[in-house]
Amino acid sequence: MNWSRTKSIFIICFLLLDVFLVFEMYMRQQDENFVNYHDESQHFNYKLETVIPTMPEDITFLRGTRMDWSQDKDILAQVVDKRKTQENQELALEQSNLQLVSTFKRPISIGHSDNEELQQDLLSNVYQGQDYKYWPFVSSSTGIKFSQTYRGRPVYISTRNKLQMLDFTVKDNKVTGFKQSYFSLTEKNKVDPINAEQAINSLAERTDLVGYNRLHIKAIELCYLNTVGDESSEPLIFVPAWHFVVHTVNGTSDYFVNAVSGNVLTIK
């Protein structure tokens, strides 16, 4: 046996293997944003198109109590004064004075509801408008919805609930008025939340997401969510949750994962 020749063949083979491994690693790095999740029954493949937020400290549940509008006439005066120059709105109270209803005498024409200038104009009509954030995926041609915020984080209520934080009514592409409930929010019971990566894996439990070749995660944020309360519940408890905006071939949708239990929550 020619050991010198055999040795040369082995060296060439190892060099070819090294080249293959380097090429394989290069290809993986080109697609490094794609992550696979496996368990015994499912395959989960997604692409991050946003930055994963760092885990904040001191996360708690929130306790929310709606403000009684009838107890502070100065607050109502502030709302009226916002449109005083146009004398444009009539106010009423519903749900035992916990919900403010405004009707515009002259509806406001709108273009696209995702226009930031329009959103700011609408919020200038309401009490503490700076505390609200536009919620695009539950807004429609008949309504523009906003969620209240706490320390910059959105506070959501299930759309199954008749109790909503701030809804503008739209008819014939004009805003005709709004309904507003303003919550006093306080922190209750510190929790040890799961991180965003763990929450992403929990999305694999959603049967409507299984089977897609690739999911595009457009946005991730930590928020607070209530899915069980209604207009007769006081106070409402909001759990910390991870909010994902996910795009598939069927469109873009909101998904929520309980940041304490890891359960995937539905809001519709």
Counting other chains too, the contacts that 145-152 makes at CB distance below 8 Å and 24 or more residues apart are 146/119, 148/182, 148/183, 148/185, 150/62, 150/185, 150/224
Q: Which two tokens stand for residue 190?
A: 């510190």
Which pLDDT value is given to residue 90?
A: 86
Q: For the domain with range 68-181, which CATH number is right: 3.40.30.160, 3.30.70.600, 3.40.47.10, 3.30.310.160?
A: 3.30.310.160
Q: For the domain with range 33-60+187-265, which CATH number is right: 1.10.10, 2.40.128, 3.30.1490, 1.20.120?
A: 2.40.128
The pTM is what?
0.78
User: For residues 215 and 207, what is the distance between their CA atoms, to the nearest angstrom?
Assistant: 13
User: For residues 268 and 263, what is the distance between their CA atoms, to the nearest angstrom?
Assistant: 16
Which pLDDT value is given to residue 68?
A: 92
Query: What distances in angstroms separate CA 47 from CA 109, 222, 245, one per listed residue?
Result: 38, 19, 12
**Residue ranges covered by each domain of the chain:** 33-60+187-265, 68-181
Which pLDDT value is given to residue 4?
A: 67
Which pLDDT value is given to residue 24?
A: 44
Per-residue pLDDT tens, the chain, 268 aa: give them: 565 666 566 556 655 544 443 344 334 333 433 444 444 334 457 788 999 888 888 899 999 999 999 887 667 666 666 555 446 788 899 988 999 999 998 898 887 666 888 889 899 889 999 999 999 877 787 889 999 999 999 999 987 777 889 999 999 989 999 999 999 999 999 999 999 999 988 887 665 676 666 788 999 999 999 987 676 778 899 999 999 998 888 888 889 999 999 998 878 7
